[in-house]
Amino acid sequence: MRNFLALVLGTLFGIILVKAEVLSWFRIQEMFAFQSIHMFGIIGLAVVVGALSVFIIRKMGIKSIEGNVIELKDKAPQYKSAYIGGTIFGLGWAMTGACPGPLYALIGSGTTIMILTVVMGILGVLAYAALRSKLPH
């Protein structure tokens, strides 16, 4: 059931990413150069709706459709890794014009060279896994 719903949500999200143009390198460059409200407005409003949803779910004690308590784990309080890792990702985001969701969407919508980018992303995870104990967190 969860897998089926994940497929439905993923499909929906893929459509949204194309319709919102957030998978576009042009839009990402425009954002980092502060030349349009497009991306900032999207991320900002997404956070507003997301935060309101989390607030309501907690306040009203809404359960999942399977009737379970919704688990919201806190992110690990590791600030060095959040900042350094975030900066490394930010460099890659501006280079590829895509974060992981849009990378999948780009492949689906025909920019198939992004397959290489995803493969390299997976190798990036492998490199992180190998170096993890030596990196500051």
Partner 1 sequence: MNSILVWLSQPWPWYVAGPIIGLMVPLHLILLNRTFGISSSFRHVCAAIIPNNLDFLKYDWKSETWNLIFAVGILGGAFIAARYLSTDAPIDLSQAAIARMADFGITDLSGQHPKQIFEWSSLGDWRTLLLVVGGGFLVGFGTRYAGGCTSGHAIMGLSHLQLPSFVAVLGFFTGGLLMSWVFLPLLFA
Among positions 63-122, residues that touch partner 1 (CB under 8 A) are 64-66, 68, 70-79, 81-101, 103-114, 116-122
Q: Which of residues 24-63 bind partner 1 (CB under 8 A)?
A: 24-33, 35-39, 41-51, 53-54, 56-57, 62
Backbone angles phi, psi at 69, to 5 degrees: -65, 135
Number of residues that bind partner 1 (CB under 8 A): 116
Is residue 134 near partner 1 by the rule CB under 8 A?
no
Amino acid at 136: P
CA-to-CA separations, 4 to 10, 63, 95, in angstroms, rounded: 10, 19, 33
Q: How far is the CB of 39 from partner 1 (least distance, A)?
A: 8
Nearest approach, Cβ of residue 51 and partner 1 (Å): 4
The residue assigned the tokens 């990413």 is 17
CB of 98 to partner 1, least distance (A): 8
Dihedral (CA of 106, 110, 114, 116) sign:
positive
Task: Residue 98: count other Cβ atoms within 10 Å of its Cβ.
Answer: 25
Least distance to partner 1, CB of residue 1, Å: 9
